[in-house]
A = this chain, B = another copy of it.
C-alpha cells in the first residue's frame, strides 16, 4: 500500500517507516523536525547518535534498495499538508506528528498551550485535508493509553456498553488523562470521532502504551539507521531511562511508591501493530479504537526487572524512590483490554531478559553520551511553571547518591 508516515523522523515514526518499507509498502515520511528542535531547547540528546534525514534515507536506499520519500513541513500549515495529501495520494496516513511528552507539556503555560494547540490544530488540519482531497484514505492515529487514566473498572478498547436506569447504549469510554499532553490526545480522539461521523472518514485510533526498546530488524542493519533512545526525564520513557541509569551506575528513579501500572510494548510490536491497522482498514465512517500494548507492569516491577538483568551483567543497580513529580495514583487498580490487535494477528514480543540485555548493552555502548543531570525530574505537575531551559555553562547538579530503596528527600 501507499502509506504516509507523519512524524516519521521520531522514535516510533522512524521505526515504522523502515518496517513498512521493508514489508514492501510505498512509504513517504512527512516531518518538520520539531522533535530535534526540542532536544536543542532542553539541552538533551538521544543516547544513540541518530543521523540526519538525508543520511538516514540514503543509507536505507543503499541497504534495502527501497526508496522512502520525505516531505519537510508542518501539518499545522494547511497549505503544506493538503498539498502533501494531494501529491502523495496515500491509502493510509499514520499520524505520529504530535508533541508526545507529558513532562514537556507540564513545563509551564507556554508549553501546555503549545502542546494542545499544536496537536489539536495539526490533527484538525489533517482531518480537513483528508475530507477535501483524500476522503477514502484510512487515518491511523496514535493516541495513548494515558487517555483513560486509572479508573477503578476494567478499561475497554475505546467504547463501553453502559446500562443505566434500565436503558442501554455503547458510549465512548470516559477519559481521565493525566497531563496537558494526554489531554491533547483526548481532544484529538473526540475530534476524530466527530469527523468520522459527519464526513465518513475511516479512522483507527491506536491507544498506545509506553514503548520500550530501540532496535528493530530494520534499524539493526546499519548504524546509520539507528533509532532514537531517549533517556532524559522529559522524553525518556521509563524502561529506556532505567536501562541508561543502570548502565552508568545511577540509581533507578522510581517516582513515589512505583505502583503506577500501565500498558507497555516493544517497539517491534509498535511497527507491526501499525501495519496490521493499515492492512485491515476501518470502514468509511468508522472510528475504531485499539488498545496497543502487550503487557502491564508497575514502575517498581520494571525497576526490579532492570535490577535483576543488570546484576547478571555485574552492574550494581540501586532503586531510588523520589517524591512523585506527577499528580497520579501511586497504587491503583488497572486492567485494560488489549485483544483486538492480537485478533488481527499480532504476535507480541514479551519483555524478557534477552531484550533487557540488549537494551542495557546499547546503553553501555553509548554511555559516554549520557548526561546524568538529565535523569532527575525537574518538572513538577503541581507548579504552574518549572525552570527547564538549558543553561549552557552552568554546572550540572551532582549525581544523586542515596541508599537503594530509600525515599529521596527532594530535588
Question: Residues on A close to B: CB < 8 A?
Answer: 78, 109, 112-113, 116-117, 120-121, 124-125, 128, 131-132, 151-154, 160, 162-165, 167-169, 171-180, 183, 186-187, 190-191, 193-194, 197-199, 327, 333, 381-382, 384-385
Q: How far is the CA of A180 from the CA of B113 in the complex (A)?
A: 18
Contact A198 B382, beta carbon cutoff 8 Å: yes
Whether A187 lies near B120 (C-beta < 8 A) is yes
**One of B152, B191, B193, B381 near A167 (C-beta < 8 A):** B152
The 5 closest A-B pairs by CB, nearest first: A171-B174, A152-B169, A153-B164, A109-B128, A198-B327
Q: Which residues of B contact A187 (CB under 8 A)?
A: 116, 120, 183, 186-187, 190
- Asked if A190 and B186 sit within 8 Å, CB to CB, the answer is yes
Contacts of A382 in B (CB 8 A): 198-199
Query: Which of B128, B168, B173, B333 lies in contact with A112, CB distance below 8 A?
Result: B128
- Least distance between A200 CB and chain B CB atoms (Å): 9
CB-CB < 8 A to A113: which residues of B? 121, 124-125
Contact across chains for B154 and A164 when beta carbons are under 8 A apart: yes
Contacts of A153 in B (CB 8 A): 162-165, 167-169, 171
Given contacts A120-B117, A120-B120, contact A177 B190 (CB under 8 A): yes
Given known A-B contacts A112-B124, A117-B117, A175 and B176 have beta carbons under 8 A apart: no
Question: Once the chains bind, are B183 and A191 in contact (CB under 8 Å)?
Answer: yes
CA distance A71 to B236 in the complex (A): 44
CA distance A128 to B191 in the complex (A): 24
